A and B are shown apart, each in its own frame.
Chain A
Amino acid sequence: MSDLKKTLPTEYMVLNMGPSHPVTHGTVKFLVTLDGETIVDFVVDIGYLHRGFEKMCENSTWEQVFPYTDRLNYVPPMINNVGYALAVEKLLGIDVPERNKYIRVIASELSRISDHLTNVAASGLELGAFTAFLYFVEARELVWDMLESLCGARLTSNYVRIGGLKNDLPEDFKDQTTAVFKRCRELWSDVDKLLTKNRIFIDRVRDVGIMPPDEAIAWGFTGPCLRASGVPYDVRKANPYLVYDRMDFEIPIGEKGDNFDRYLVRMEEIIQSMRIVEQALKEIPSGPINVDMPEYRWQSKDDIYNKIESLIFHFKTVTEGIKPPPGEVYFAVEGTNGELGFYLVSDGRGKPYKCRVRPPCFPLTAAMPRMIKGSLIADVVPTFDMINMIGGECDR
């Protein structure tokens, strides 16, 4: 054997996976060193989608940051909107009306559904299950139609405002939800049949990319990936914001922390999010959606055009921005990939002094080498899919 090795020397092959490669959706580069098909070394190179989010925010008024947050994790933009709005409201020390809270919950959960649908669908696609992909894309389209009827846009929603919302729920929203969720549940069970008990799918994702709970915590995992490792941490339960404490929903937990558990957790969260939306729609009270504080939230167009005070407030908030007191806050919401935290520093002027996002998929992506070293090159596909790295959020 040793003679054979001497006469037939082998060397490692270095592959540049990405930044434009079918599996690296969202432009990321892997520098993979291969021994045959086995991964010896794995280096993740991010930053291809870096747009200078924080620098842009520091040069915009507090309100102008919302469109930028849409482009963080662009599949569930509502959650980013809500997270930022809640952080600013915490900084201001104001509370929003009840109806507003319910609508924000509905919007967040719809966004979460769309993100989990996309993620599971894309994972299926990349493992060759093209049919499952299109089933979930159909479901996602329906959910996006709902978001469109809510805010007028499918992806870059820009719906939430500081202390309020762009507009109220459309009138037929409840009926639309009933119809869409019925179809979504059908499609969900179709995909469940196609994948969950599919021997080939299970073999591809079981025992791949395992992350034990203690290590997951050390790496800074949050969200579905952490819960798949068996740690029951969900911001919606741990630090309930909005009206999540009144909602009845479960937090699915995995056992082993492999890709199959991550898949199962996401599948179950889709169902739980639908439950939350249905409850919220049932319990939603009527009332205003905006705070009655003209220095923070513009008043209606009628008032602005007809009342001099409203016009002055509008002029001031638009040209100078709202002025929170100096200080700093950190506020976290449950994003689709984990804890989406906003750390805001105000110096009392109309622009954020610092607007930091804690991107949930950043530590997940950092842990890729830990999860993938020693396995086969084909295992990169499900592992990278299941951590759901979104370039816009990871690179900001």
Chain B
Amino acid sequence: MEHMNVTLKKLKDSFPDSIIDTHSFRGDDTAIVKKEHIVKICEFLRDDDDLLYNFMMDLTAVDYLGREPRFEVVYHFYSLKHNRRVRIKAPVPESNCTIDSIVSLWIGADWFEREVYDLYGIVFKGHPNLKRILLYEGFEGHPLRKDYPVKERQPLIGPKN
């Protein structure tokens, strides 16, 4: 586990103000960071020679209803060179449900961010084309939020002409 913590240590040293917490549950290195600095941190992860997390593997969010801040945007990165994985989590409060987009760093984040916007309603600032992706335009609400009822029905809509 010694080498695993290189990432977290380096992150802590470089961004002492931005890292809220770190842990390594079941060997998954996790850093909880402030959402204001997410782009800076991601860029550092990608470009620093000791880290080189060049794959943006996954981007999703979790809704912790009843907790403050309510949402967490979760990023999974993978470094091909060092064969390491890291998870970055950025809490997003419901009152200010936005976070900076990382499309400028990984173009592949485009659709992932659209999906999170679609299902959780988290707005990614600076995203080139933030529209619903899995659901249709005109869908009301964001179904993966915990307060969206399982059996909620949506009105039928006709084709738009």
Interface residues of A, Cβ cutoff 8 Å to B: 46-47, 50, 52, 54-55, 59, 90-91, 93, 215, 217-222, 231, 233, 238-239, 327-330, 332, 339, 341, 343, 345, 353-354, 356, 358, 362-363, 365-367, 370, 395-396
Q: Are A220 and B87 in contact (CB under 8 A)?
A: no
A43 to chain B: closest residue by CB = B129
Q: Which of B1-9, B34-42, B107-115 contacts A (4 or more CB under 8 A)?
A: B107-115
CB-CB under 8 A from A46, the residues of chain B are 133-134
- A272 and B31 alpha carbons, distance in the complex (Å): 38
CB-CB under 8 A from B134, the residues of chain A are 46-47, 50, 395-396
**How many residues on B have C-beta within 8 angstroms of the other chain's C-beta atoms?**
35
Q: Are B108 and A363 in contact (CB under 8 A)?
A: yes
Shortest CB-to-CB span from A253 to chain B, Å, is 13
With contact pairs A47-B136, A395-B134 given, residues A330 and B85 touching in the complex (Cβ less than 8 Å): yes
- A389 and B76 alpha carbons, distance in the complex (Å): 22
CB-CB under 8 A from B60, the residues of chain A are 343, 356
Q: What secondary structure prevails in chain B residues at the interface with A?
A: mixed
CB-CB under 8 A from B110, the residues of chain A are 366
Since A47-B136, A90-B26, A91-B26 are in contact, a sample of 11 more A-B pairs with Cβ atoms closer than 8 Å, ordered by chain A residue number, is A217-B55, A217-B80, A218-B108, A238-B83, A328-B28, A329-B28, A332-B57, A339-B57, A358-B57, A363-B108, A367-B108
CB-CB under 8 A from A343, the residues of chain B are 58, 60, 74, 76
B118 to chain A: closest residue by CB = A47
Q: Are B111 and A362 in contact (CB under 8 A)?
A: yes
- A362 and B60 alpha carbons, distance in the complex (Å): 13
Partner of A366, one of B54, B108, B150: B108
CB-CB under 8 A from B80, the residues of chain A are 217, 231, 233, 238
With contact pairs A238-B83, A345-B62 given, residues A327 and B26 touching in the complex (Cβ less than 8 Å): yes
Q: Are A217 and B54 in contact (CB under 8 A)?
A: yes
A358 to chain B: closest residue by CB = B58
CB-CB under 8 A from A330, the residues of chain B are 28, 58, 76, 85, 87
- A215 and B107 alpha carbons, distance in the complex (Å): 9
CB-CB under 8 A from B93, the residues of chain A are none
A338 to chain B: closest residue by CB = B57
Q: Are A341 and B58 in contact (CB under 8 A)?
A: yes
Q: Would you call B143 an interface residue if the criterion is a C-beta within 8 Å of the partner chain's C-beta atoms?
A: yes
7 interchain residue pairs of minimum CB distance:
A220-B108, A47-B134, A366-B111, A219-B108, A358-B58, A50-B134, A327-B25
With contact pairs A47-B135, A345-B62, A366-B108 given, residues A329 and B25 touching in the complex (Cβ less than 8 Å): yes
As a 0/1 sequence over residues 104 to 143 of chain B, the CB contacts with chain A under 8 angstroms (1 = contact) are: 0011111110010001000000000000111110000001
> B55, B58, B144, B150 — which one has the most chain A CB atoms within 10 A of its CB?
B58
CB-CB under 8 A from A233, the residues of chain B are 55, 80
Q: Are A328 and B83 in contact (CB under 8 A)?
A: no
Write 10 A-B pairs (CB below 8 A) sorted by A numbering: A215-B107, A217-B54, A219-B108, A220-B57, A329-B25, A341-B76, A354-B62, A362-B112, A363-B108, A366-B110
As a 0/1 sequence over residues 19 to 34 of chain B, the CB contacts with chain A under 8 angstroms (1 = contact) are: 0000001101010000
With contact pairs A329-B28, A343-B74 given, residues A55 and B87 touching in the complex (Cβ less than 8 Å): no
Q: Are B57 and A93 in contact (CB under 8 A)?
A: no
- A239 and B79 alpha carbons, distance in the complex (Å): 12
CB-CB under 8 A from A218, the residues of chain B are 106-108
- A55 and B148 alpha carbons, distance in the complex (Å): 10
Q: Would you call B99 an interface residue if the criterion is a C-beta within 8 Å of the partner chain's C-beta atoms?
A: no
- A341 and B132 alpha carbons, distance in the complex (Å): 23
Shortest CB-to-CB span from A233 to chain B, Å, is 6
Q: Would you call B92 an interface residue if the criterion is a C-beta within 8 Å of the partner chain's C-beta atoms?
A: no
Q: Are A55 and B136 in contact (CB under 8 A)?
A: no
With contact pairs A341-B57, A366-B108 given, residues A358 and B25 touching in the complex (Cβ less than 8 Å): no
Shortest CB-to-CB span from A371 to chain B, Å, is 13
Q: Are B26 and A93 in contact (CB under 8 A)?
A: yes
Shortest CB-to-CB span from A329 to chain B, Å, is 5
CB-CB under 8 A from A54, the residues of chain B are 119, 144
Shortest CB-to-CB span from B39 to chain A, Å, is 15
Shortest CB-to-CB span from B34 to chain A, Å, is 19
Q: Would you call B51 an interface residue if the criterion is a C-beta within 8 Å of the partner chain's C-beta atoms?
A: no
A353 to chain B: closest residue by CB = B62
CB-CB under 8 A from B144, the residues of chain A are 54-55
